[in-house]
């Protein structure tokens, strides 16, 4: 069993103030994979004090030095990709192929990209007789979920380091070990003491203490909309900056001229990846009524072709959900969909004997879904996709936008110009045209209750600095 009994504070492995621990469960077989310390407000105080003490020096470090350190961190992350991937397989259930490429591989590339963005902190804008300069915002509390634990952590850590901020990390207690590995990596790369600190624990204890701490200047949170709203309220007490990337119920609009097989293949695979535990999963698919039957048949075939199984097996495409609670939640939504009158074309929770110890749910396709059904309104966060027919493009756009969320969308069409025109009408932070790939240098974030602010690229850096105007005397004055 993997056991960690210390936090990373001020460049050292520090003994917790309390003695309570948290078990980390392997979702593939429900066994105890490891154990971590359960932090307290006192541990948060120590981590924040270290970050505050380190800030004056780190924020004034030349950008070339910060850039070089970020690049060194990225290189050490790349060296440990196989180990990181195996860790995330065990703690999160992500299949090894997906974990290697996305869960462990992508974060190192994101980290490396911010070695370049660091130099944007040197930018000075001249506005008449004033200089506008950029300065690091201060101590940042970074709170991340369990679905893409290292990737979502690095999208916060990298720009914070680039801007010159110091950091206190609160990873998910469900998937904490990858964050400890990142702490080992930054320490080995030579990051100064106190710049990055790590405390594990529950949100009600560690998370709330971090959000309410008067010496924390900014909170960046990724997770559920309900918790994001609570964090926004806590941040209002001392008017700290709060950047939240929250839930989604993203839509795909398939146009009449689209390749139905390609559209359904791309969309079903995207939704089912990571067992559907993706904030911008395109889980509502609007299809022309004239092509609806073909779309349902294609979606069914793709879903049934995906290999569900042990995530440590190279052949596996769909692993377990992260926990028993998450499995029960998803099965509850599937039951609700059937109760509301949707047609379950394939899927559900009836697994073969060898998979019943883990938290598995089959890739599930619902047809004959109405946009007002619960399964079309609420974020399921599991391998469930809803197919909804439409008669006109205006109707499809209206239904796609009829959601409290606005994180992502996609449009499928043989005519790229037509697809772009429709994408401009969709209320979403990012829109994918056909099989367009994710771009780690483009801004990521949502509209409405999917959050505020942006991550990744230049816009991601902006969340971590303040603007200062320096007004110079003029001859007329």
Give me the CATH number covering residue 338: 3.40.309.10
In a domain, 125, yes or no: yes
41/139 same-domain check: yes
Residue 394 is predicted with a pLDDT of: 98
Query: Contact, 156 vs 220, CB < 8 A?
Result: yes
Domain extent for 233: 2-246+451-469
Residue 329 is predicted with a pLDDT of: 97
Q: What is the C-alpha radius of gyration for the chain, rounded to an integer number of angstroms?
A: 23
- How many angstroms separate the CA atoms of 213 and 206, rounded? 11
Query: Contact, 450 vs 249, CB < 8 A?
Result: no
97/6 same-domain check: yes
Catalytic residues: 245
- How many angstroms separate the CA atoms of 29 and 25, rounded? 8
Split into its structural domains, the chain has a count of 2
Query: Contact, 135 vs 466, CB < 8 A?
Result: yes
56/167 same-domain check: yes
In a domain, 331, yes or no: yes
In a domain, 475, yes or no: no
Edge-first strand listing for the sheet containing 2-3: 2-3, 31-37, 21-26
- How many angstroms separate the CA atoms of 105 and 391, rounded? 42
- Other C-beta atoms within 10 Å of 80: how many? 17
In a domain, 474, yes or no: no
What is the H or E stretch that residue 240 is in? none
What is the H or E stretch that residue 12 is in? strand 12-14
In a domain, 323, yes or no: yes
In a domain, 446, yes or no: no
270/212 same-domain check: no
155/107 same-domain check: yes
412/284 same-domain check: yes
**Per-residue pLDDT tens listing for the chain (477 residues):** 999 999 999 999 999 999 999 999 999 999 999 999 999 999 999 999 999 999 999 999 999 999 999 999 999 999 999 999 999 999 999 999 999 999 999 999 999 999 999 999 999 999 999 999 999 999 999 999 999 999 999 999 999 999 999 999 999 999 999 999 999 999 999 999 999 999 999 999 999 999 999 999 999 999 999 999 999 999 999 999 999 999 999 999 999 999 999 999 999 999 999 999 999 999 999 999 999 999 999 999 999 999 999 999 999 999 999 999 999 999 999 999 999 999 999 999 888 888 999 999 999 999 999 999 999 999 999 999 999 999 999 999 999 999 999 999 999 999 999 999 999 999 999 999 999 999 999 999 999 999 999 999 999 999 999 999 999 998 765
Q: Residue 461: which of 247, 210, 195, 157 has the closest Cα?
A: 157
Tokens of 205: 């204890």
- How many angstroms separate the CA atoms of 242 and 137, rounded? 12
Question: Cα separations (Å) of 373 from 337, 342, 387, 406?
Answer: 7, 9, 12, 18
Residue 128 is predicted with a pLDDT of: 95
- Other C-beta atoms within 10 Å of 89: how many? 27
215/257 same-domain check: no
265/233 same-domain check: no
In a domain, 214, yes or no: yes
Query: Contact, 51 vs 194, CB < 8 A?
Result: yes
Torsion of CA 394, 254, 365, 26, to 10 degrees: -110
Q: How do 7-9 and 218-222 pair as beta strands?
A: unpaired
The CATH number for 51's domain is: 3.40.605.10
322/369 same-domain check: yes
Q: Which long-range contacts (CB under 8 A, 24 or more apart) does 340-343 make?
A: 340/370, 340/373, 340/374, 340/375, 341/368, 341/370, 341/373, 342/366, 342/367, 342/368, 342/369, 342/370, 342/373, 342/375, 342/386, 343/367, 343/368
139/272 same-domain check: no
Q: What is the DSSP letter of 473?
A: P
Residue 264 is predicted with a pLDDT of: 98
371/456 same-domain check: no
182/85 same-domain check: yes
In a domain, 8, yes or no: yes
- How many angstroms separate the CA atoms of 85 and 89, rounded? 6
């Amino acid at each position: 069993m993997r056991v960690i009994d210390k936090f990373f504070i001020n460049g050292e492995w520090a003994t917790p103030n309390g003695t309570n621990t948290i078990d980390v469960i392997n979702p593939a077989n429900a066994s105890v994979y490891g154990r971590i310390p359960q932090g307290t407000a006192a541990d948060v105080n120590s981590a924040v004090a270290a970050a505050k003490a380190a800030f004056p020096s780190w924020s004034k470090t030349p950008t070339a030095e910060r850039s070089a350190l970020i690049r060194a961190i990225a290189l050490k992350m790349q060296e440990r990709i196989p180990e990181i991937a195996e860790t995330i397989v065990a703690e999160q259930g992500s299949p090894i192929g997906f974990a290697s490429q996305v869960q462990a591989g992508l974060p190192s590339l994101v980290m490396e990209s911010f070695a370049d963005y660091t130099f944007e902190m040197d930018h000075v804008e001249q506005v008449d007789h004033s200089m506008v300069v950029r300065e690091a915002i201060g101590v940042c509390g970074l709170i991340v979920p369990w679905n893409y634990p290292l990737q979502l952590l690095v999208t916060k850590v990298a720009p914070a380091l680039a801007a010159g901020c110091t950091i206190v990390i609160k990873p998910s207690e469900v998937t904490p070990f990858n964050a400890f590995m990142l702490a080992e990596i930054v320490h080995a790369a030579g990051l100064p003491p106190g710049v990055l600190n790590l405390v594990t624990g529950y949100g009600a204890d560690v998370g709330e203490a971090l959000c309410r701490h008067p010496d924390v200047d900014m909170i960046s949170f990724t997770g559920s909309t309900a918790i994001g709203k609570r964090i926004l309220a806590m941040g209002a007490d001392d008017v700290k900056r709060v950047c939240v990337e929250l839930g989604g119920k993203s839509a795909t609009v398939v146009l009449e001229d689209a390749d139905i097989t390609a559209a359904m293949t791309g969309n079903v695979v995207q939704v089912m990846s990571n067992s559907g535990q993706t904030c911008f999963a395109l889980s509502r698919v609007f299809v022309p009524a004239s092509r609806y039957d073909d779309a349902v048949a294609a979606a069914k075939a793709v879903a049934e072709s995906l290999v569900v199984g042990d995530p440590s097996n190279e052949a596996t495409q769909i692993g377990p959900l992260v926990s028993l609670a998450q499995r029960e939640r998803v099965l509850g939504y599937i039951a609700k969909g059937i109760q509301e009158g949707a047609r379950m074309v394939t899927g559900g929770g009836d697994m073969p004997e060898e998979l019943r110890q883990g938290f598995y749910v089959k890739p599930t396709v619902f047809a004959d879904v109405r946009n007002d059904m619960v399964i079309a309104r609420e974020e399921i966060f599991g391998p469930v996709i809803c197919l909804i027919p439409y008669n006109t493009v205006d109707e499809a756009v209206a239904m796609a936008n009829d959601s409290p969320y606005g994180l992502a969308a996609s449009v499928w069409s043989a005519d790229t110009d037509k697809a772009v025109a429709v994408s401009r009408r969709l209320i979403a932070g990012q829109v994918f045209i056909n099989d367009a790939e994710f771009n780690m240098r483009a801004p990521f974030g949502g509209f409405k209750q999917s959050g505020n602010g942006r991550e990744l690229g230049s816009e991601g850096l902006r969340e971590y600095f303040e603007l200062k105007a320096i007004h110079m005397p003029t001859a007329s004055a």
